[in-house]
Amino acid sequence: MTVLIDKTKLDKNLKAVKSNPAVPENYVPHPISDAWSRDDVEALFALPFMDVILKAQSVHREHHAPNSVQMSQLLSIKTGGCAEDCGYCNQSAHFDTGLKAEKLIGMNAVLDAAHKAKTGGAGRFCMGAAWREPKERDMDALCDMVSRVKDMGLETCMTLGMLSPSKAQRLSDAGLDYYNHNIDTSPEDYDRVISTRTFEDRLHTLNIVRDSGMKVCCGGIVGMGEQAEDRIGLLLTLANLNPAPESVPINALVPVPGTPLGDSEPVHPIDFARIIAVARIMMPKSYVRLSAGRETMTDEAQALCFLAGANSIFVGETLLTTDNPSETEDRALFTRLGIVSE
């Protein structure tokens, strides 16, 4: 099997993680599975398109209802002013994108949005905050949000940046079902996209989430100017997490003027569907979410992604700060395809 991450780079990043005062001195990373090799993934990407789609659809039908899609809704509970410099993100304080930083929103606004999400058919309610990591002073409010949304009969998910073990456990104890923490791109491409935290920081947070008992939502973004080998490296890392994430969002970059990656070349729809198909084959039991970027996709492109094994989407007219198809558009597409929501 091919080594997942270059050993020299892994050792360097691990030292950086251990120098973080929030990381215990005896920290040992979770083992990374070698179930998939780079050669395996390269072979899947090299298949003729019809063959990889057929293989993905066959795998999909073994593990999931073929015409059912899970629907989640995402709410920004704290917008802008993030200390991270993720090159794709308009919420970073490092870039001038015209987005104004806001404080953590109140409980009533969260509950109103959750009620609307449930009424619209969403089964999971996701809350995202533009932070490097949550501060202790905000934990009571965050845990209360989780509990109150759970009481409405919705699954809960949050994305708040990095977590310490104690904060992860508090969220888990409050009833948080999923924690989202994307790795964004391959280990080799990571430093081109982000400089304010390492790839190992990301893996460390995922380990903490697992240890707390929460499910993992982890994916990446394509169309950021990455190379073909980086798309392979992204899926290789995700599939070899032990276990693989229960939820895998695959995002097509929504380019934002003022961000370093805002002028990146978009991914061709057929290439994007191929990425979805390979993800489905490699992570057969996971929900593969057709995530950011749907606003610019045609119905035909989305249908191809569902055929390739995508079985989750975000609904609602915004994803944090970017546009998303309307409820009317999604309902019409699902009717044409004979898809029902979970």
Which candidate in 124, 126, 170, 305 is catalytic? 126
Which candidate in 89, 143, 218, 305 is catalytic? 89
Residue 86 bears catalytic tag: yes
13: its two tokens:
């990043």
Rounded to an integer, what distance in angstroms lies between the CA atom of residue 26 and that of residue 44?
38
Residue 143 bears catalytic tag: no
CA distances in angstroms from 96 to 85, 92, 302, listed in the order given: 12, 8, 32
Neighbouring residues of 237: CB distance < 8 A, sequence distance ≥ 6? 4, 5, 32, 183, 186, 187
Helix and strand tally (H, E) in the chain? 12, 12
Neighbouring residues of 145: CB distance < 8 A, sequence distance ≥ 6? 77, 107, 110, 127
Which candidate in 170, 197, 217, 231 is catalytic? 217
Rounded to an integer, what distance in angstroms lies between the CA atom of residue 44 and that of residue 232?
10
| Sign, Cα dihedral of 337, 318, 288, 299 | positive
Which candidate in 82, 143, 218, 305 is catalytic? 82
Nearest to 220 by CA among 238, 208, 203: 238
Which candidate in 124, 170, 210, 289 is catalytic? 289
Residue 97, Cα to own-chain centre: how many angstroms? 22
Which candidate in 143, 157, 218, 305 is catalytic? 157
Residue 280 bears catalytic tag: no
Residue 82 bears catalytic tag: yes
Q: What is the DSSP string of 294-318?
A: GGGS-HHHHHHHHHTT--EEEESSE
Residue 217 bears catalytic tag: yes
List residues with catalytic annotation. 82, 86, 89, 126, 157, 217, 289
